[in-house]
Amino acid sequence: MPPLVVTLAVDGSAQSAWNALRRRWFPPERLVVDAHLTLFHALPGEHLAAVLADSAEVAAAAGPFELAVTGARSLGRGVALDVAAAPLLRLHAELRARWADWLTRQDAQPFKPHVTVQNKVPPEVAAETLAAVRLDPGPRTATATGLDLWHYVGGPWEHLATAPLAGPR
């Protein structure tokens, strides 16, 4: 059973802008998924039913909320947009508590919300990109609209479900 990836769904305008940044700066031969804000990178696929149920329950209780793009930062061999929102941290913490026994080392690390616009390039290319993205990071805000669940199938991801953020704003 392939691992599961959980990402945050955002409004179409922000998603389009982030996709454009990613298409501009990501190495084309490695560009197999759209821009995304990953909440969990690799949950065990055998827990699909529980992950779907938990995602739906947590998302149904949370309403859409605003994200702030707080800047661009270096990943060493890439560039990311840092994203901040207190409701995002609460949402992640609740899911993390539910799935604590299943977390990989990567997913157990402190959560630093970001959207990767470039990765796996030489450091000097990343430094040039960082300077450009700092000048034009795209929209400064986005609206979180749901949780997307994916199967990781080697490179591209297979979309399984979206759990809308349906609670009160």
Say what angle helices 86-98 and 48-61 make with each other, to 10 degrees.
150
pLDDT (tens digit per residue) in 20-60? 999 999 999 999 999 999 999 999 999 999 999 999 999 99
Left (φ > 0), alpha (ψ -120 to 50) or beta: where does 120 sit?
left
Task: Please check whether residue 15 is in contact with residue 37, taking contact to mean a CB–CB distance below 8 angstroms.
Answer: no
Output the CATH code of domain 4-164: 3.90.1140.10
pLDDT (tens digit per residue) in 59-118? 999 999 999 999 999 999 999 999 999 999 999 999 999 999 999 999 999 999 999 999
Domain edges within the chain: 4-164
